[in-house]
Structure 1
Amino acid sequence: MNIKVVRGNPTPEELAAALAVVRARAATAQAAPSGADTVRDAWSDPSRIAAHRVPRPGPASWTRTY
């Protein structure tokens, strides 16, 4: 694995932290079986936004906006 710093002048501690993150991500990617279903995070699930009915427009609809 080759890592090249393109911009800036990172300290050895910053390089070590970045390398630790890259290695951890690579290890988890290798540990997951290929073709396995990935678990979606609840925050990225689009159905979370549309889980409730949208209020119908009307004279008092401004009180029900979010």
Structure 2
Amino acid sequence: MSAEEPLFRVVRGVPTAEELAALVGAIVVRSRPAAAPAAATTASAWVRSGRPGSSSGWRTAGLPR
């Protein structure tokens, strides 16, 4: 592919400038590698205490002993 060739072309219809901008934005976002969100990788102790398998924490605090 040479430098003069477009990366994509419209083969049917006549898109508006806004529609083309939305398409380019979607292509750019999809072409980037996905980054793991920082908050999802480290859970607080409070969040971990409510997960299944935890024998202590806020979920079991109200259960009879």
TM class by shorter chain equals 0.3 to 0.5
- TM, length-normalised to structure 2: 0.41
TM-score when normalising by structure 1? 0.40
Q: Which has the higher helix share?
A: 1
Larger Rg: 2
